[in-house]
Amino acid sequence: MARTQGSHSDITGPKVRDAALRLFARHGYAAVSMRQIAKEVGVQAGALYNYTPDKQSLLFSLLKGHMDDLLAAWEAEPKAGDALARLEQFTRFHIRSTVKTPEAIFISYMELRNLEPENFAVIEDLRGAYEDQLEQILRSGAETGAFDVPDPKIATMAVIAMLTGVNTWYRHEGRLSLSEVEGIYWDMVRKSVGG
Amino acid sequence: MARTQGSHSDITGPKVRDAALRLFARHGYAAVSMRQIAKEVGVQAGALYNYTPDKQSLLFSLLKGHMDDLLAAWEAEPKAGDALARLEQFTRFHIRSTVKTPEAIFISYMELRNLEPENFAVIEDLRGAYEDQLEQILRSGAETGAFDVPDPKIATMAVIAMLTGVNTWYRHEGRLSLSEVEGIYWDMVRKSVGG
DNA sequence: GTCTATATGGTGATAGAC
DNA sequence: GTCTATCACCATATAGAC
């Protein structure tokens, strides 16, 4: 039986999140008003509050959703292979993630300071869990002698920063294909840890 | 002869810039009000306009000043040595700069999107000039066979991102000394380019 | 050079009609 | 679920007294 009371909530909700993600990534959370988001969605500002209790919750929800998706996608990857194979897997996974959802990756490290303390703590935990995945790979490879990594913690930060940097310049229409980019970065990552 | 009309401009001016730099770095340009800056300086908001025509000019001036300082400091470095020595020099220089002026480095890549178009173009040019310094080093090393770098442009972005990442975690009171950090990163950078 | 006071407009969020 | 209208507040920037 068809709904008699018309509702767009099942489509407007995602549109609100999409618009917020895009605008936050482009202009920054603090610089974007609820009226701008509403205009992008095609509703009045008041209608947004059917989908989020406030602006801060909207930001948090986007970041939390992204981190959950990222961790779930990594968990879903096959976990076979030695440390070198796992490092290649992580490298390619992180670059593909960066390229697939650039706005989400971007706001996830640009808008942390605009989270209220409790929200910040949640996202920082998830980020830490993600970085731990790489750190464990480097640590296990260092123990078996597969890698030459004197300080796995620092090496983790260095590799993550290098890979996330793809975000700042990669364009789909660019000179290099995604697999070429992956190959170049994997070559550098592998060599940087003496693998 | 002493000034009869009291003036604090020679001290208030720098204090305005210092406060703005610190607050922009911590909370972001869009999230910081002129009233907050004034409060930090210890004057009323109106007084700030003796030192900047508007908020945007204040941001631009901070970014421009930082990039000019950075380029001038690099120019002032001795330019002897082969590509490998020059790469080590750049690596250590960039890390030291990142650690010495963390707020300026931070806003220089976080607040670009808050610059108006003409201001953005100026800063982007200066950033490009800085990145070119590294790219030329990698390119010359690749030509002589000192480095194994198939794509100097990408390698430049990768190395810069890795080094700038120090900004996100380094603390003066931390576990590692600056020269230890430099050493670890230089080891990774050298290996990553096959040097 | 700094102050107080103010012009002008945008902000997040809510109330109540439909 | 969306609209219009509105509240209370904060924003940047300026004017004019001292």
CA-based R_g, chain A, Å: 20
| CA separation for the pair A87, A27 (Å, rounded) | 34
Q: What is the pLDDT along chain B (195 residues), one digit of tens a residue?
A: 444 344 566 799 999 999 999 999 999 999 999 999 999 999 999 999 999 999 999 999 999 999 999 999 999 999 989 999 999 999 999 999 999 999 999 999 999 999 999 999 999 999 999 999 999 999 999 999 999 999 999 999 999 999 999 999 999 999 999 999 999 999 999 999 999
Residues contacting nucleic strand C by the 7 Å CB criterion are A 32-36, 45-46, 49, 53-56; B 7-9, 12, 38, 43-47, 50
The DSSP result for B7-58, as a single string, is --HHHHHHHHHHHHHHHHHHH-TTT--HHHHHHHHTS-GGGGGGT-SSHHHH
Contact residues on chain A for B161, CB-CB shorter than 8 A: 161-162, 164-165, 168
Q: Is the CB of A12 under 7 A from strand D?
A: yes
Same domain, A86 and A35: no
The answer to whether B49 and B41 have CB atoms below 8 angstroms apart is: no
**Subunit contact A185:B158, Cβ cutoff 8 A:** yes
pLDDT tens, chain A, 195 aa long: 444 344 566 799 999 999 999 999 999 999 999 999 999 999 999 999 999 999 999 999 999 999 999 999 999 999 989 999 999 999 999 999 999 999 999 999 999 999 999 999 999 999 999 999 999 999 999 999 999 999 999 999 999 999 999 999 999 999 999 999 999 999 999 999 999
d(C-alpha B92, C-alpha A113), whole Å: 28
Backbone angles phi, psi at B3, to 5 degrees: -65, 135
Instruction: Please indicate, yes or no, whether residues B91 and B19 belong to a single structural domain of this protein.
Output: no
Asked if residue A69 and residue A98 are part of one domain, the reply reads yes
Domain count, chain A: 2
B143 shares a domain with B176:
yes
| Total CB pairs under 8 A between chain A and B | 93
Q: Do A34 and A80 lie in a common domain?
A: no
Q: Can you tell me the distance from the alpha carbon of A17 to that of A14, in angstroms, rounded to the nearest whole number?
A: 5
Tell me the DSSP string of B96-159.
HHHHHSHHHHHHHHHSGGGS-HHHHHHHHHHHHHHHHHHHHHHHHHHHHTSS--S-HHHHHHHH
pLDDT at position A7: 55
Provide the pLDDT for residue A11: 92
Residues A24 and A37 in one domain: yes
B contact test, residue of A23, A162, A191, A193 with most B CBs within 10 A: A162
The CATH number of the domain holding residue B46 is 1.10.10.60
Q: How far apart are CA B76 and CA B92, in angstroms?
A: 14
Instruction: Give the position of tokens 């409790």.
Output: A118
The one-character DSSP state at A50 is G
Q: Say how far A26 CA is from D8 C1', in Å.
A: 30
- Domain identity same for A23 and A60: no
> Based on the domain organization, do B25 and B113 belong to the same domain?
no
Of A128, A193, A13, A111, the C-alpha closest to B27 is A111
Query: What domain range includes position B180?
Result: 54-192
Check whether residue B47 has its CB closer than 7 Å to nucleic acid strand D.
Answer: no
Closest residue to A151, CB basis, from B161, B184, B189: B184
Could you tell me the CATH number of the domain that includes residue A181? 1.10.357.10
Looking at the structure, tell me whether residues A90 and A143 fall in a common domain.
Answer: yes
Same domain, A67 and A77: yes
Q: Are residues A78 and A33 part of one domain? A: no
Same domain? For B69 and B45 the reply is: no
Q: What is the pLDDT of residue A80?
A: 82
Contact between chains at A191 and B191 (C-beta distance less than 8 A):
yes
